[in-house]
Amino acid sequence: MYLKSLEVLNFKSFKGEVTVPLDRGFTAITGPNGSGKSNCGDAIQFVLGPKSNRVIRAQNSTDLIFNGGKNSKPARNCSVTLVFANPVMSNGRRRLPLDKDEIRMSRSIRLTSSNNPVTTYKLNGEDSTQKVFHRLLGAANARPDGYNIVLQGDVTSLAKMTANERRKVLDNVAGVTSYDDEIRKATKQKDMVENYLDRIGLLEKEQLERLSTLAKERHVAQKAKEVSDAIHLTNAMLLQSRYATLKNELAFHIEERQKYLTESQRLLDEHKATEKVVLELDDKIAELQNEINRLTGGETSELGQAIQALHVAIELNNDRLQEAANEEAEEAEEADVLGEQLSEANDELQAFVSSLESANDALKQALADLEEARAEVLPAAEGEEEREVPRRRGQRHLRAYNLLLRGRCFLSLLNLLLLLHNLFLRSRNRFFG
């Protein structure tokens, strides 16, 4: 693998398109100072990808585009293409890991309308990236920051270097530096990864705790869902059961209604039939009545008159019975009144007898008092004979009073007997007319 040619377009001092052929082996580019020899090396590094624009002696990307010099118009884009020959080696492989004899790597810069530079990469005419270029060139040990390219002054500075600095350069050339860099990078990445692992460990711990809480919550939620499902199921079953019951009840009521309707219809029919029979019977009764009238000769016949007389007699008897009933009611009322009067008379008699007894007692007491007074007042000399006279007089009075009292009692008894007799008479009249 070797660089076959360098195709430059508006790069630095190169105006327009310029192709620099580089044959196999050693190629020298000569020219006066400032003629653009070093710009060729810059062009190669530009495609390989320098770490900074300073390496290719430019402040920024815009400095890489042909500025027009003194006599030309400045360009708005530049492009460099490295054409590598990539033949098959003795081991059957190619240095650049692409199955092509020629590999074209292009890098372009164009200015936008606002003069901002935009960089694009193309590999064999197709869009690509700087990473792809580095991967391909890395496989061929052609790194942009390596010592593949020895710039102007590099040899002089190498000669002036200290032993340590020169060692670094040699390490770099030998590829040791790149391994050291890779080791450094790997160690740095390892530290970062360890750091990440620590952080991930903390996060994992937090997440595990959270997971535990969530597991508990999930368990509770599952339980709640189970209970909720069970409630829904039970409700559904309950509703189904109610629905079935109501359906059965409805069917029962429909059946009952039908039965009642049938029964009603049957009764209606029966009623109609009975009405018909009644009408027929009425007709027959009328016919019989007519027959009876025809046979008995109506109300003018003897039998009719007798029946009429019997009807009248029955009516009269009924009236009498009604009168008797009325009289009986009146007598019952009168008996009640008499009973009340008798009770009152009896009460009066009792009161009278008791007052008589109390009067008798009072009289007896009065006589006793009189006797006692007389015994105290009359001298003893007057003798027993004189005290006997008033005592006898008092006794006579007492007897007369008793007689009077008995007479009055007798009268009261007579009144009572008379009352009872009246009652008896009324009762007898009522029952025996």
Chain residues in the site for ligand ATP (CB under 6 A): 12-13, 31, 33-39, 63, 66-67, 69, 152
Reduced to 3 states, what is the DSSP secondary structure of residue 278? helix
Q: Which residues, 138 to 177, sit near Mg ion by CB under 5 A?
A: 152
In terms of DSSP bridges, do strands 17-21 and 102-111 run parallel, antiparallel, or are they unpaired?
A: unpaired
Which of residues 10 and 86 has its CB atom nearest to ligand ATP in the complex?
10
Residue 128, interface with Mg ion (CB under 5 A)? no
153 binds, among ligand ATP, Mg ion, none (CB under 5 to 8 A by kind): none
Name residue 132's amino acid: V
φ/ψ of residue 102, rounded to 5: -130, 130
Which of residues 13 and 81 has its CB atom nearest to ligand ATP in the complex?
13
CB neighbours (10 Å) of residue 252? 10
360 binds, among ligand ATP, Mg ion, none (CB under 5 to 8 A by kind): none
- At CA 107, angle to CA 103 and CA 112, rounded to 5? 150
Minimum Å gap between C-beta 63 and ligand ATP is 6
| Binds Mg ion (CB under 5 A): choice among 38, 61, 77, 412 | 38
d(CA 24, CA 300): 175
- Helix H or strand E segment including 103: strand 102-111
34 binds, among Mg ion, ligand ATP, none (CB under 5 to 8 A by kind): ligand ATP
Which of residues 64 and 105 has its CB atom nearest to Mg ion in the complex?
64
d(CA 198, CA 192): 10
Which of residues 78 and 136 has its CB atom nearest to ligand ATP in the complex?
78
79 binds, among Mg ion, ligand ATP, none (CB under 5 to 8 A by kind): none
Which of residues 22 and 136 has its CB atom nearest to ligand ATP in the complex?
22
Reduced to 3 states, what is the DSSP secondary structure of residue 382? helix
- Give the residue at shortest CB distance from Mg ion: 38
77 binds, among Mg ion, ligand ATP, none (CB under 5 to 8 A by kind): none
Minimum Å gap between C-beta 97 and ligand ATP is 33
DSSP string for residues in 160-229: HS-HHHHHHHHHHHHTHHHHHHHHHHHHHHHHHHHHHHHHHHHHHHHHHHHHHHHHHHHHHHHHHHHHHH
Minimum Å gap between C-beta 137 and ligand ATP is 23
* Helix, strand and coil percent figures for the chain, each rounded to 5: 70, 10, 20
Q: Which residues, 205 to 264, sit near Mg ion by CB under 5 A?
A: none
Residues binding Mg ion (CB under 5 A): 38, 152
